[in-house]
Amino acid sequence: MPETPNYYSVKVNLRDEANMVYTMVSAIIDPVEIKSVKYEGVSCSSPLSLLPVRSTFQDFYNRMQRVIYKGEQQKNITKSLQELIKTKFGSESFLEEILHYMDHNLTDRLDFVFSEIHKRTAGNSEPKVEIHFELIDPNDMTKTTVDEEEIAKKEAPPVTPVPQASGFLIPADKQIVQFKFQLSPVNGIPLVELKAGDNVYIRLVPGDAVTDSIINTLELKEESGAIKQIPAKIVNISNNKNFSEVVIKINEQIYGKIIEEENSVKIKTTDSNAGAANIMNSVASPTAKITKAKQNPNLSADESFHLMPYIIMLVVLAIGMMTIFVIL
């Protein structure tokens, strides 16, 4: 019997210290059939969840599953990441590209590819990329060197309260979008210190029909693929020990809701010296153009009103001149 061709095992760590996003991606690729055999990805808030890239594929896969099982992933970013890598690793052209890079040991090109994946899911930043790839026997796909079950036994069970509803209800006729806070580790304000009425910066997270539609309508996607930051107002915030539930309003029609599991993160806020953000007429307000358009007819009416006395005087003068002409 002919031997089964070897598979490529790829493991990637992406460390985004600025936004405190730490991502693991791993994949098994068949270089002969040019197809992905198995892949997974997850983003979390702690670098302690990352494994060395020289661990086995199964070690990586088990760790990612454990992060998800324990609820330690950043849900919105992980959702976007998993949707993107599903598309990428299902694309023959993408697989041909990275197979070419691995065959020729072009690690800098691979770094760029996975850095771009990070930017599209977690923000326009420059993460530190760690990557390791190798050819393995298909029978070694399930080989492990890290005992996740033993690690789980040694760890004390986390006391994580179940998120409780804050009681704030977004009106049923409003649109609800997916978003993430724009972080500012140096000058930002901790999330737990923010309150209703504070203005913050956010970025919409593509992935659902409503959010995608608003991103396209408001032209928030830059040529690089990054989503522009926009101002929003906190309308309700409920802080617990380990998480915060936040409802924001972009304008009168668009709201967002998020459960932020790392409520110690520092959020970028609007400049207090410049006053409150103009939420209604910001880039995020589809009503801004309509409001501006409605102002023009009002200006024309006002101008006509101010001209009326002069028009009446001209009419009276014309009538007087006609009367004198008839008498003569």
Cα 146 to Cα 106: distance, rounded to the nearest angstrom:
29
The string of pLDDT tens digits covering residues 42-78 is 999 989 889 999 999 999 999 999 999 888 899 999 9
User: CB burial class (10 A; 0-12, 13-18, 19+) of residue 30?
Assistant: middle
| pLDDT reported for residue 74 | 92
Rounded Cα gap, residues 157 and 189, in angstroms: 30
The pLDDT of residue 244: 86
Task: Report pLDDT digits (tens) over 292-323.
Answer: 444 444 444 444 555 566 677 776 667 767 76
Report the candidate in 60, 213, 222 with the shortest Cα–Cα distance to residue 142.
60
Which token pair is 126? 């420059």
Say if residues 137 and 3 touch (Cβ distance below 8 Å).
no
Given this model, what pLDDT does residue 40 score? 95
What's the token pair of residue 39? 């892949």
- Can you tell me whether residue 72 is helix, strand or coil? coil
d(CA 116, CA 289) in angstroms, rounded, equals 34
How confident is the model at residue 301, as a pLDDT?
46
Asked if residues 218 and 284 have their Cβ atoms less than 8 Å apart, the reply is: yes
Backbone angle region of 128, left / alpha / beta, with phi > 0 → left and psi within -120 to 50 → alpha: beta
- Give the type of residue at 261: E
Residues of the chain under the 70 pLDDT cut: 1-4, 147-167, 271-310, 315-317, 320, 323-328
Alpha carbon distance, N-terminus to C-terminus of the chain: 126
What was the pLDDT predicted at 291? 45
Predicted pLDDT of residue 288: 45
